[in-house]
Amino acid sequence: MGMSYLEGTCPKCGEKTREQSNTWAYGSPIRFCPRCKQEYLDKRWREVAIDGFDPRGTSPAYYLKCFVGCLVGLILSYGWYYYTTHYRGYYNTMNIAIIIVAAIGTIGCLGLAIYIGLGFGKKADAKYMEESKRRLRDADYVRKLQSYGYVIPAEYLVGITNSSEEMGGQQ
């Protein structure tokens, strides 16, 4: 899918951040502030090997429901437009804007349902999963995620010791 941007605020220094993201924000949740250079956790990002994929990005049924909702909105807004122009003798530019937005939403939702339903999203998802698994093979990265409270699947813990084991069980 396309690229988008995530905007936020660094929890360490308060700097406004804006970074490029894939549509579903698949990637490492460990972020770095461009101003203070400190690391922080941003749970909007999904480490897909742990968090899984966003259900909206893998379900054509979700977008078919959105399509139906937008289509109903389009029909109702057009009906109101027709009624006001033919029976009341006026039109409202806001109604025209609603018709345009509903039409775009209808087409967009249908397009996404078809895109996902035909399996075009699976290639991108496979790439995101491989990137996630590659990050999780890094022991330091896994420890950082654990320090932020992530429960790491056993398959990524092979050969990784936690800090209490490294200290001989002392705490």
Determine the pLDDT at residue 162: 54
Q: Among 63, 72, 165, 49, which Cα is nearest to 118's?
A: 63
**Bridge-based pairing state of the strands 39-41 and 16-22:** unpaired
Q: Would you write out the chain's pLDDT as a tens digit for each of its 171 residues? A: 567 899 999 999 999 999 999 888 999 999 999 999 999 999 999 999 999 999 888 889 999 999 999 999 999 999 999 999 999 998 889 999 999 999 999 999 999 999 999 998 898 899 999 999 999 999 999 999 999 999 999 999 877 765 444 433 433
Determine the pLDDT at residue 57: 86
Determine the pLDDT at residue 123: 86
Instruction: Dig out the tokens for 133 from the structure.
Output: 């698994």
Residue entry with tokens 């409270």: 149
Asked if 28 and 46 count as a contact pair (C-beta separation under 8 A), the reply is no
**pTM, whole model, 2 decimals?**
0.71
**Rounded to whole angstroms, how far apart are CA atoms 3 and 139?**
29
Output Rg (C-alpha) for the chain, integer angstroms. 23
Eight-state DSSP code of residue 154: G
Determine the pLDDT at residue 76: 97
Determine the pLDDT at residue 166: 42
Asked if 106 and 21 count as a contact pair (C-beta separation under 8 A), the reply is no
**Backbone angles phi and psi of 70, in degrees to 5:** -65, -40
Determine the pLDDT at residue 117: 93
Determine the pLDDT at residue 23: 83
